Copies of this chain bind each other. A is one copy, B any other.
Amino acid sequence: MVSASVKDVAALAGVSVGTVSNVLNRPEKVSAEVTVRVQSAIDKLGFVRNDAARQLRAGMSHSIGLVVLDAANPFFTDLARGAEDRATAENLTVLVGNSNEDEGRESAYLDLFEQQRVRGVLLSPVGNVIPRLEQLRRRGIPTVLVDRQTENMSFSSVAVDDLAGGEMAAAHLLSLGRRRIAFVGGPASIRQVADRLAGARKAIDAVAGATLEVIATESLTVLSGRAAGESIRSRPKAERPDAIFAANDLLAVGALQGLMLMGGVKVPQEIALIGYDDIEFAAAAVVPLSSIRQPSALIGSTALELLLREAASEDGFEPAQVVFPPELIVRASTQG
């Protein structure tokens, strides 16, 4: 026999299946003596509940689905951990799917979650999934968008205010007295990049004499950042910016390398440098990097919180848009 069922347990303990179920789910309804008998039968048979049967009966699983853009990105692993911790407290499981920024994979995971009758879905969307999400909602499966606000406000979302983050970073550089600021980042089609730039521009426009130069990169990687840093280093001193705001920490780390190569530019004395995301590596860089921190785990737990609330509520649910403020982390790269 591969696996014992409640029936087997009941037979061995000399009770009915209903009683076994009661021992499992409402122990207070069962006499001590019977509880002991059933327990020992469970132990002897190595009985383990069949989740599929429970779910079938219950009509709904006790997991929630999470689809992320990139499982390797620390931001998303932190976010997932935040959601998991909150879920565990609620006796729920989080199933993580990695869309890898691919619409097909995203859609496949949504299908899977729908078949599993998950309690809800947390989604960092790739394509235009709103219709798909409306279908899920009709089926009673709520969705909360993470890291991207919904266009039409019909779904709840949790995100960070990248505009404010950009503004904050630029304002910090300006407060150091720097005026010739360069933004390193790209591609501009990524919303986060565009927002951070827009925020920076806003802060810079507000200060007379401050200028903003945009140095576009192909991607948000260390290598791109390094190329940008080297190109700045190769300029005549007078034409260099006196501060750099990089669209994320990987770029900042790369830029730092490019600048410092061959005893080049001194950071922060000649050029101050700030990144974005505050990844673990930022603090460990040759010159510890200032950065804009995003509360990734908090985003995850909050998203799950909203999801639970929506799942518990009746029809007239009001979607909520939560936007977290980013946080400025000052380290050596902008001090001195």
Partner of A115, one of B50, B81, B115, B281: B50
- Asked whether, in the complex, the Cβ of B48 is within 8 Å of the Cβ of A52, the reply is no
- B residues within 8 A CB of A95? 95
Q: Is the interface of A mostly helix, strand, loop or mixed?
A: helix
By a CB distance below 8 angstroms, the chain B residues around A74 are 72
Q: How far is the CB of A25 from chain B (nearest CB, A)?
A: 14
Cβ-defined contact, B117 with A51, below 8 A: yes
Query: Are A115 and B48 within 8 A (Cβ)?
Result: yes
The residues of B that contact A223 with a CB separation of less than 8 Å are 284
- Contact across chains for B80 and A284 when beta carbons are under 8 A apart: no
**With an 8 A cutoff between CB atoms, is A320 at the interface?**
no
CA distance A139 to B46 in the complex (A): 9
What is the CA–CA distance of A190 and B109 in the complex, to the nearest angstrom? 36
Q: How far apart are the CA atoms of A93 and B63 in the complex, in Å?
A: 15
Contact A284 B48 (CB under 8 A): no
Which residues of B lie under 8 Å from residue A208 when comparing CB positions? none
Nearest residue, chain B, Cβ from A51: B115
| Cβ-defined partner of A56 (8 Å) among B56, B226, B263 | B56
Which one, B84, B93, B286, contacts A286 given CB within 8 A? Answer: B286
Per assembly, the copies of the chain total 2
Using A2-B139, A3-B139, A80-B71 as known contacts, say yes or no to A52 and B49 having CB atoms under 8 A apart: no
Contact A48 B114 (CB under 8 A): yes
A residues 284-322 near B (Cβ < 8 Å) are 284-286
**Interface range on chain A: under 10, 10 to 19, 20 to 34, or 35 or more?**
35 or more
What residues of B have a CB within 8 angstroms of the CB of A77 in the complex? 71-72, 77
A46 touching B286 in the complex, CB below 8 Å, given contacts A52-B61, A56-B56 = no
CA distance A139 to B5 in the complex (A): 12
* A140 contacts partner chain B, Cβ-Cβ < 8 Å: yes
CA distance A117 to B46 in the complex (A): 14
Report the separation of the CA atoms of residues A46 and B138 in the bound assembly, to the nearest whole angstrom. 10
Q: Return A155 CB to nearest CB of chain B, in Å.
A: 19
Q: Does A176 contact B (CB under 8 A)?
A: no
Q: Is the CB–CB distance between B46 and A135 below 8 Å?
A: yes
Is A2 touching B286 in the complex (CB atoms < 8 A)? no
A230 and B307 alpha carbons, distance in the complex (Å): 49
Q: Which of B3, B71, B117 contacts A140 (CB 8 A)?
A: B3
Cα A46 to Cα B48 with chains together (Å)? 34
Residues of B within 8 A of A80 (CB): 71
A214 at interface (Cβ–Cβ under 8 A)?
A: no
Nearest CB to that of A221 among chain B residues? Answer: B284
Interface of A toward B, CB cutoff 8 Å = 2-3, 46, 48-53, 55-56, 61, 71-72, 74, 77-78, 80-81, 84, 93, 95-96, 98, 111-112, 114-117, 135, 138-140, 221-223, 226, 254, 257, 260-261, 263, 281, 284-286
Cross-chain pairs A/B with CB under 8 angstroms, 16 sampled:
A3-B117, A3-B139, A46-B139, A48-B111, A50-B115, A51-B115, A52-B56, A52-B61, A53-B56, A71-B80, A72-B74, A81-B98, A222-B281, A257-B286, A260-B286, A281-B281
